[in-house]
Structure 1
Amino acid sequence: MMKRTYRITTIIFLVILFLTAITDLMRMDFVLTTVRHLGYPDFLPLLIGTGKCIGIILLSLPRYTPWKEWGYAGFTVLFLSAAASHAFAGDALGHILPPLIFETLLLVSYFSMRKVVHNATA
């Protein structure tokens, strides 16, 4: 059951993050509007999109590796920073919650992966 949970949550997460990485790398208008509203420079989406691509590769590795931990950590920093940025900018809850929802999906993936790894070594 945990293996299935891990696979499903990770695949959903990676597909969504891949799509958002593309919008970041292309610096689409709605991305730049949000970045400017939050007070960040226009080049930030390029950095975030590149980081997302690296994280996607790390989480896609076939077996457990400490590099996966770095991917999970990087995405956690990204989502908590995004939620905090929206909160500090005075945005409505509708802008603060989406990164926290992605973080929840990420945590389900992470903890189910840890359970699968633990069961495999036990």
Structure 2
Amino acid sequence: MRNKIIYWIATLWLSLGMVATGSVQVLKWKPEADYITHLGYPVFALTIIGVWKILGVVAILIPKFPLLKEWAYAGFFFIMTGAIFSHIADGDPVKDLLPALLLLVLTLVSWYFRPLDRKIAMA
């Protein structure tokens, strides 16, 4: 029961964070567009990242499809580690790493504590 509570708290916070950031990315909100260009990426990358974040949340929240969930978690892991390392490479202050670091931790906690019916069956 404890693991299920940890899973759902982490997953709901992760989903909220990914939908919120994905939405402003898809909408190319000016502060977000400025931020991504500051890191050296083109603005069109916001649409790609934002759409995949939102689809990843759908994949994680729907029942069944454990392989799809693994791909979504992997995508979140790659996006968040990429964001963290982009900020480090750009010399940004630690405070700029914290949102991506929080989403990375939530990704790992959600993945680790996911129920058996959301895992790929091992043969």
- Common topology (TM > 0.5): yes
Q: Partner of 1:40 in structure 2?
A: 41
Gaps of 5+ in 1: none
Which whole-Å deviations, capped at 9, do the CAs of 1:90-111 have from their partners, x for residues lacking one? Answer: 1011112321121111111110
CA distance in 2, matches of 1:13, 1:78: 13
Q: Partner of 2:98 in structure 1?
A: 97
1:79 aligns with 2:80: yes
Q: Partner of 1:49 in structure 2?
A: 50
Q: Partner of 1:25 in structure 2?
A: 26
CA distance in 1, matches of 2:28, 2:60: 24
- Cα RMSD between the aligned structures? 1.7
Which whole-Å deviations, capped at 9, do the CAs of 1:55-97 have from their partners, x for residues lacking one? Answer: 1111112136111000000000000000000110110111123
Q: How many residues align?
A: 118
Gaps of 5+ in 2: none
Give 1:8 deviation, angstroms: 1.4
Which whole-Å deviations, capped at 9, do the CAs of 1:26-77 have from their partners, x for residues lacking one? Answer: 1001101101101111111001111111111111121361110000000000
3-state DSSP of counterpart to 2:97: helix
The letter for the 1-side match of 2:82 is S
CA distance in 2, matches of 1:62, 1:12: 18
Verify the 8 A CA contact 2:17 2:103 in the aligned structure 1: no
The letter for the 2-side match of 1:93 is V
Verify the 8 A CA contact 1:9 1:105 in the aligned structure 2: yes
Q: Which runs of 4+ in 1 moved over 3 A?
A: none
CA distance in 1, matches of 2:70, 2:35: 29
